[in-house]
Amino acid sequence: MYKVIVDSENLDFSAAHFISFAGKCERLHGHNYAVSVELEGELTDDRYVFDFVVLKKIMREICNALDHYFLLPERSEYFDIHKSDGEWEIRFPDPAGGTQDRRYVLPAQDVLTLPVDNITAERLAEYICGQFIDALEVSAAQKEVELSNLTAVTIGVQESPGQTAYYRHNLSQE
């Protein structure tokens, strides 16, 4: 078994978010995220696991699509989310019924909704992995890449130095 890893200065994005945890909502803030990708598999007839050029191109496109947005978890059970008149309204009601209610109104063009329940590094890694697999399948359908040798992909999302979450997906079981 072989693996290739791309952990490059070019695989990054900046985004704002907040997360909910234990019935609370943290303050709105941002990160300069760094992304890594690891592909595992057997060697192709050309004696490589995957073409680094194609791998970096796909990952850069995914990172660019996330760059400079407020990331909104559209599946959150804690936020009341509504879009109207070119803006997103996000409410976090105080679960205790106190004075900790929060309300955010953001221009729609600054918001990127993601099909996740929370914008944690773990969920971002899982989301990016799904985007990566979708892009691989498109490239394979267009006969640009070979996927039959690949067995797993792991995506890492670093939200600050020393803090990285990983998501691994087995490809051989699909």
Distance separating alpha carbons of residues 29 and 115, to the nearest angstrom: 20
> Residue 9: what pLDDT?
77
CATH topology of domain 2-72+120-170: Tetrahydropterin Synthase; Chain A (3.30.479)
52-66 vs 121-141: helix axis angle to the nearest 10?
130
pLDDT bracket for residue 117 (50, 70, 90): very high
Return the DSSP state at 108.
Answer: G
Using an 8 Å Cβ cutoff, are 152 and 132 in contact?
no
pLDDT in tens, 46-69: 899 999 999 999 999 999 999 999
pLDDT bracket for residue 75 (50, 70, 90): very high
The closest of 111, 73, 108, 110 to 92, measured between CA atoms, is 73
- Average the pLDDT over 147-170 and give the result: 96
pLDDT bracket for residue 109 (50, 70, 90): very high
pLDDT in tens, 124-158: 999 999 999 999 999 989 988 889 999 999 999 99
Q: Would you kindly state where each structural domain of the chain is located, as residue ranges?
A: 2-72+120-170
> Residue 114: what pLDDT?
98
Q: Which residue has the higher pLDDT, 8 or 144?
A: 144
- Average the pLDDT over 18-34 and give the result: 86
pTM of the entire predicted model: 0.93
In the structure encoding, which two tokens stand for residue 125, read together?
């890694």
